[in-house]
Structure formats: structure tokens, C-alpha cells
Structure 1
């Protein structure tokens, strides 16, 4: 049995968390959550006698000491991350410190904001007969991006894309996509604070990404989603075609 659970909280909606994730928060002795990204309501299910702490103002060493103190007293820690811990989740640094202490840990996946944004917009990443690929990436910032993974290079695939952590430079996102050959008229979404009460998702095009973000004041917690082929009227799944046969339909 693990002592520390890294739990994906989803994008913000308290109901967009897995059953397992919620159960572990309810059982934990220490609930440590990133208050700048995870709403307090999401951890409100913690036990009355559990310690609930916001990690936003804490350093890595301070969060580690909190977790270690709980584990050494025989308790369980729920370390709650926004979205899915496997995507820009910074779990590795915390896990390495726990490994040094011989503490067992486990990751509980969560809903990432790209999935929540497309669902809220009533859209799909893939298009029958069109793109079958989704690329998740970001602009380079304080965290560098390999040149081979520059948005310009990724855009050359013409596939669906979700661009995270790039709200500070929407012009850079737009320009990179256009430089990579993405058609300026390609359907796109600008999704702000997905899953939060103030969620706003605006439909636009690749050429309009930056202006849409600027006009709406989306400067933080904003996701850019590019969805080629959304206007293809003939795009229909073969699954429901009357002539489509598979092992359960003769």
C-alpha cells in the first residue's frame, strides 16, 4: 500500500475527478493541494480531522517535509494536482525525494483541461476520414522546448493540437502555427479557466487566436485548441454506417 498519492484533480470542476481520487482525498490524513490552480471546493470532502494545506506558497522542501511528517506518523497523504499529474505535473521532483526516504507513492490520473475544453465545446479532437492525431505541447518559456518540438514544426503535421502554458504570448502561438503551414481559417478554441465557475470557451480560427485572447483578457489559465476538419460535412464515423460490419454486427 502506498503512503502518498499524487491525484489528478481535473481542470477545476469538483465533479471532474475520478472516483478513486475523491475516495483517497476523503481518506487522507494530509490533503496537500495547489490552491492557485485547484479550487478549495475540490478538497472540501476531506475528513474534518484531516490537515488540509495549500502548497502554493510552499517550496519543494517544505511540501516534502509536510508529507514526510504525515507518513512517519503512519498517515496517508493526498497530494492533489491540477489536471492530470502526467502532463506538466512536476511529480518527478517530489517522487525522487520520497524515493530517497523509501516512501511508497502512486499516481492517480485525472482529466486534463484539453479534454474538458473540447467536451464543453461539443467538439472532438479526431475527425472520421481526417486527422486521427492529437498533439499536446507548449511554447518555450522559462521551461525550454526542444527545437524539434517547436510549435512551428508540430503544426506541419496538420493534426489537432492543444497548446498549454502559453497564454502570455498568444501572438507567438498564432505565428508558430501559421509558420508551420496551418491554414489561417482552421477552427480553433480559446478556453479560459476550464471547469471553473468563470469558464469561458470562445470559438475562433488560427488567425484569430491572439485577438480573441486579448479581447477577452485571457492572460492566465488559458488553453489554445486547434481542431482541423471540424467543418467537413461528410465526416461521419463508419461505426454507425449500415454497411459497416464487425464481430458484434453481422
Structure 2
């Protein structure tokens, strides 16, 4: 059974890593997915893979740091498909340095690729999500929840995203809109880069995961995203879902 049959989904950062895993999982459940990414080559390559399963899905090239044009992403997708059911704010870039070394440029990079696109895309999507009684899936990180070293800018933006997600859950629940947050650990390109930069820390984190491994972007993270995008999660909102093999157990 297709849990997401004919649901229109936007996934930022959908050309690779966790974004691509979610896109694959969702199209296999019948969704029409618009992946948004700045990289044209990887975006078109992913579009071809999605077309093999879902011919209506598309790649939309966009720079999320171009704040003034973020609304056009929503408009383009709605004009093409006639509606929007799910907004997944996954994209985020950051530089890993200590607090002492963090510059304004580092903070700007993290907030301009993560927090601000999440905020403004949510704003632009709201009228259409009201119509569909849709879903928003945002992304947090253990870097913010546990305060990982060298992750100040990233952690700050991720916790800001958690904050606005909870506010939106309170404000938008009356419209039938669910807003939830995934906090993942997965073998994404970002984690692979972190493993190279801090191999001992990476191994220490992996060894502390109760399930003994990093998640798969499609089978582990993607399947939870499918659940949060589906009617199965209609009575869940404002929650941070830890998809991290038990690394962080929220109280």
C-alpha cells in the first residue's frame, strides 16, 4: 500500500545524503517529490533516479541563501502540481570549528543555509499546507542537543529550528498541520566528512550508539520521514523524533 499516494513533497538538500534517502523512500510510497538543491549535476542525477520510480517528480535548482527568492520555490512547485502536502527542510551547511575560532561568516553560513530557509519556506508554504492539512518535517541534531565540540554555529541554528518548529506546532495545529523534527544519525556526506576530520571522536560516538551503527539514509531516516508525512502520524506534532539508534534518549 502506498502511504503517500499522490502527496506532493518538497525536500531541500534532496540531491544527496539524508535528503536523497528520504526522496527515495517517499517516491516508493507513491509521493511526487520535488528535490531542491544548489548543485545542478547531482540534482539532475537524482532526478533521473526518482523518475525511474516516479516520473512526475522533479529537481529544482535553487540557492537557499538567496533569501528573497525562497518563496518562489513553493510557488513553482504548487504551480506545477496544484498543491503542496509536505515540506521537508533538510538542507544545512556549516563549518566545524571551536567557539573561540567561530567567526561571523561561520554563523552566517549555518543560519543562512539552515535556519532562515527553514523559517521562510515554512512561511511561504503555510497557505498551501492549510489547504492540504499538510506536514512539515524539520531537522535537529545531537550537536545541539548534546553540545558537540566544534559545532557551535551548527548547534545554534539547529536549536533555533527546534524552537520555531514548536511554535509552529502550537500555532498551526488548529489548521490540521503537523510540524515535527527528526534528529538523525546517518551515514550522510556530512558525517563522512566529520569522520575524516575527527576520526577518534567519530569512532567514540559510533561505539556509544546502543544499536552499534550509523543509520541508513533511506531505510532508517527515510522510513521515519514517510511515517511523519503520512496519515499515520496525524496526532503527533511539535515532537523531536530521535532517529539515532538510541544515542540520545529524551526525557
- Report the TM range for the smaller structure's normalisation: 0.3 to 0.5
Q: TM-score, normalised by structure 2?
A: 0.36
Q: TM-score, normalised by structure 1?
A: 0.36
- The structure with more radius of gyration: 1
The structure that is strand-richer by fraction is: 1
